């Protein structure tokens, strides 16, 4: 079986505001991306696209679920190890409209 470049299983991400009110930005997201695939991520504003890309790009971590990049599980990596993954495997370009 071919190892996926990205394998996300049941990822969840919860944000809390200053009143401790919790908001579930990702609610059990699972998918795979394989070599040579070109993938677009679509959804309405606030649906969690940037949150998901931040987790895949190792800029932040999920609250639960599992993420494998290039066959390596990254769930328990520390900040230094995550920065090594960012350096060697992924690139994110952000655009903002001000
Ligand atoms: N750091 C944060 N703290 C609190 N809530 C957040 C944070 N980041 C995102 N959220 C909330 O999580 C939800 C998903 O946000 P996200 O930015 O991932 O959506 P998006 O799909 O990228 O939206 P857009 O199309 O507007 O860029 C939104 O309700 C947002 O307010
Ligand atoms: Mg966004």
Task: Measure Cα distances from 90 to 29, 36, 59 in Å.
Answer: 20, 15, 11
Q: Residue 79: enclosing H or E segment and its boundaries?
A: helix 79-89
Which residue's entry shows tokens 């504003």? Answer: 45
> Does position 96 have pLDDT exceeding 80, yes or no?
no
> Would you say the pTM of this structure is higher than 0.95?
no
pLDDT at 97 over 90: no
Q: Is 74 within 8 Å of 68 (Cβ atoms)? A: yes
| Chain mean pLDDT for the chain | 93
Closest ligand 1 atom number to CA of residue 47: 21
Pocket test for ligand 1, best of 12, 46, 96 (most atoms within 8 A of CB): 46
pLDDT at 49 (0 to 100): 96
b vs e for 48-72, b when ≥16 Cβ sit within 10 Å of the residue's Cβ? beebbebbbbbeebbeebebbbeee
Closest by Cα among 43, 95, 32, 92 to 66: 32
Q: Each residue of 20-47: pLDDT tens digit?
A: 899 999 999 999 999 999 999 999 999 9
Question: What domains can you pick out in the chain, each with its CATH number?
Answer: 6-89 (3.40.50.300)
Q: What is the pLDDT of residues 39-94, one digit of tens each?
A: 999 999 999 999 999 999 999 999 999 999 999 999 999 999 999 999 988 888 88
Instruction: Answer yes or no: is the C-beta of 46 below 6 A from any ligand 1 atom.
Output: yes
> Among 22, 23, 96, which is best to mutate for testing ligand 1, by the most ligand atoms less than 8 A from CB?
23
């Amino acid at each position: 079986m071919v190892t996926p470049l990205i394998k996300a299983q049941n990822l969840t991400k919860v944000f809390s505001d200053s009143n401790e009110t919790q908001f579930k930005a990702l609610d059990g997201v699972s998918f795979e991306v394989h070599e040579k695939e070109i993938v677009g991520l679509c959804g309405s504003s606030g649906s969690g696209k940037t949150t998901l890309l931040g987790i895949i790009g190792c800029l932040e971590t999920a609250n639960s679920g599992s993420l494998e990049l290039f066959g390596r599980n990254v769930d328990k990596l520390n900040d230094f190890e995550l920065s090594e993954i960012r350096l060697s495997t992924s690139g994110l370009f952000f655009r903002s409209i001000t």
